[in-house]
Amino acid sequence: MAEKATIIDLLRHGEPLGGRRYRGQIDDPLSKLGWEQMWHAVSGERPWQAIVTSPLQRCSDFATALGRELKLDVEPDERLKEVGFGDWEGQTGDQLRSRDPTILSRFYWDPVEHRPQQAEKLGDFNRRVLEAYDSACERYRGQHLLMVAHAGVIRAIISHTLQAPIGSMYRLSIATASLTRIRIETERPPTLIFTGRTRL
């Protein structure tokens, strides 16, 4: 008999208070809209047997509320925090461009070499995220896991699944409150099933 597949659903957090900015590890909670987006994202089938979450409020507050509703334990993992953006944290794109019109272009074309000052190294971020991911996949082998996390975390996991270079991760657009599903089984390599969001 074939081993039962492990299914990982990656749920990005909804809109935080303060709107769009390079938030990184600033611990803003969800806005009212952000809560609505998250509940809408999980309004269909809820097949999960376990929930793992980033400890930052914009992920963990919703994960805790959902876990309470589904009667599931919720496991925070420090390694699932968003990448540290250094001195970009709290800044909007417009604020950064006003300082240097090409700063974002350089970053997105080569995020490994053109890091914000004091930012976490992309390789270090990737290693810690994949340690958390691999640990969760092993711990919940054969189960359907929900992981509530950040765009950067989800990009790192998708890049790993597709064996894409980590420097290409910002070519992936991860919508607010979107779900991405990965299937892991022995017969074939880990597979990206879908990524996207339902409209609110």
Tell me how far CA of residue 114 lies from CA of 88, 110, 117, 167, 192, in angstroms: 12, 6, 9, 11, 29
**Mean pLDDT, residues 27-39 taken together:** 97
The stretch 78-94 carries a mean pLDDT of: 97
Please report whether residue 1 resides in a domain: no
Domain-located, residue 111: no
DSSP lists the bridge partners of residue 51 as: 74, 146
Look at residue 158 and tell me if it is in a domain.
Answer: yes
Instruction: Kindly report, residue by residue over 159-185, the tens digit of the pLDDT.
Output: 999 999 999 999 999 999 999 999 999
At residue 140, does pLDDT exceed 90?
yes
- For residue 196, list its beta bridge partners: 179
The CA distance from 110 to 106, in Å, is: 6
pLDDT of residue 2: 63
In-domain check, residue 44: yes
pLDDT (0 to 100) of residue 194: 85
Q: What is the pLDDT of residues 46-69, one digit of tens each?
A: 999 999 999 999 999 999 999 999
Closest CA to 116 of 21, 28, 27: 21
Question: What's phi and psi for 10, nearest 5 deg?
Answer: -100, 115
Domain assignment present for residue 75? The answer is yes
Give the chain's mean pLDDT: 95
Range of the structural domain that residue 129 is part of: 6-83+121-196
Task: Encode pLDDT of 8-25 as tens digits.
Answer: 999 999 999 999 999 999
Which tokens hold the place of 31?
């806005």
How high is the pLDDT of residue 196?
75
pLDDT at residue 200 in the model: 46
69 assigned to some structural domain: yes
3-class DSSP state for residue 153?
helix
Evaluate whether residue 181 is within a structural domain: yes
CATH number, domain containing residue 19: 3.40.50.1240
Distance (Å, whole) CA 107 – CA 90: 17
Total domains in the fold of the chain:
1
What integer pLDDT is reported at residue 13 of this predicted model?
98
pTM above 0.85, yes or no: yes
Q: What is the mean pLDDT of the segment spanning 119-125?
A: 97
Decide if pLDDT at 198 tops 60: no
Residue 182 lies in a domain: yes
pLDDT (0 to 100) of residue 170: 96
Angle between helices 32-41 and 57-70 (to 10 degrees): 50
